[in-house]
Amino acid sequence: MHPSLAELLRLLELERLEINLFRGVSRDIGSPQVFGGQVLGQGLRAAYGTVEPDRVAHSLHAYFLRRGDFNAPIVYFVDRSRDGASFTSRRVTAIQHGEQIFHMSASFQVSQPGVEHQIAMPDVPPPESLRESDPVPKAALEAMPEKTRRLYASARPFEFRMVERADPTHPVNMPPLQHIWMRAIDRLPDDDVLHRCLLAYVSDFYLLTTATLPHLEQLMSGKRFLASIDHAMWLHWPMRVDEWYLCSYDSPNAAGSRGFSRGSIFTRDGRLVASTAQEGLVRIGGAAAG
């Protein structure tokens, strides 16, 4: 397996400290804090550690409360809120340095038949017709501070191919809409729990930035700060993250220094397998955190 993907899988292998208590480590990718998708994926993995194996996660709702410190372990406490005949509910709290940095509610369900419908998948070019998306051009990368350069230049466990491409060296305001093909860079085990946790992890990529697209000229002209406030996901069907899937993102609103984005996630054959939504801080020239 590719080393960067193997490292990500190790991040999702939590140490069980007690019946409802788990500990995870972080990876310093050059960002000022722990990547939100990592905490989301680890939190879901911790919840799965307290659930019967015949139940699958179908929804989660999370809030990011404080910046995570990648130099310290993260302890996850799972509250077994309810174990019903069909549904299981869990609440996960992530703690560092004696303070909550994240909490999440997750729901699990026994597989059951029922009515079915879905929206149509957008008509976009296939991933083979698109080149892999580089985070920033080489010239811009060389001009960055060393730590920021490491963030963008490090090997990524997922590859991304964007249908709509912005030029970061010449930012131009764009409609708040993105279509991005994604997949893991190597084959993964046949483990539905792992694929759901990895989908939670990677769903934090590019979702919030959709809300910045109509304001790129202003954002790139001065000091700016972006940070996730909350994140929600609904997992409709099993899927594999090591096969191409399409993320269709849009941002219907930005207001009050917050941007709101939502997404539909489709397999290559057009099945809607997940939906997601996120609100985050989008500040220009102001304080970094609130």
pLDDT tens digits, 222-232: 667 788 999 99
Q: Is 147's pLDDT higher than 70? A: no
CA-closest candidate to residue 201, choices 32, 21, 54, 7:
7
The confidence score (pLDDT) of residue 122 equals 97
Could you give all domains of the chain from N- to C-terminal order, each with its CATH number?
A: 3-111+131-284 (2.40.160.210)
pLDDT class of 143 with cuts at 50, 70, 90: very low
Residues 6+ apart with CB under 8 A from 105: 60, 61, 62, 81, 89, 90, 91, 92
The confidence score (pLDDT) of residue 156 equals 82
Percent above pLDDT 70 for the chain? 86
The confidence score (pLDDT) of residue 134 equals 59
The confidence score (pLDDT) of residue 226 equals 82
pTM of the model: 0.89
Radius of gyration, alpha carbons of the chain? 19
Percent above pLDDT 90 for the chain? 71
Strands, E assignment, 97-223: 99-110, 158-162, 177-184
Q: Is 192's pLDDT higher than 60? A: yes
pLDDT class of 285 with cuts at 50, 70, 90: low
pLDDT class of 133 with cuts at 50, 70, 90: low
* Span of 154-168, 185-199, 242-256 with lowest mean pLDDT: 154-168
- The residue behind tokens 């409802």 is 20
Average pLDDT over the chain, rounded to an integer:
89
pLDDT class of 31 with cuts at 50, 70, 90: low
What's the whole-number mean pLDDT along residues 19-36? 84
Q: Is 290's pLDDT higher than 60? A: no
Q: Is 233 helix (H, G, I), strand (E, B) or coil?
A: strand
CA-closest candidate to residue 193, choices 57, 70, 24, 13:
57
Q: How far apart are CA 47 and CA 80, in angstroms?
A: 9
Q: Is 289's pLDDT higher than 70? A: no
Catalytic residues: 204, 228, 278
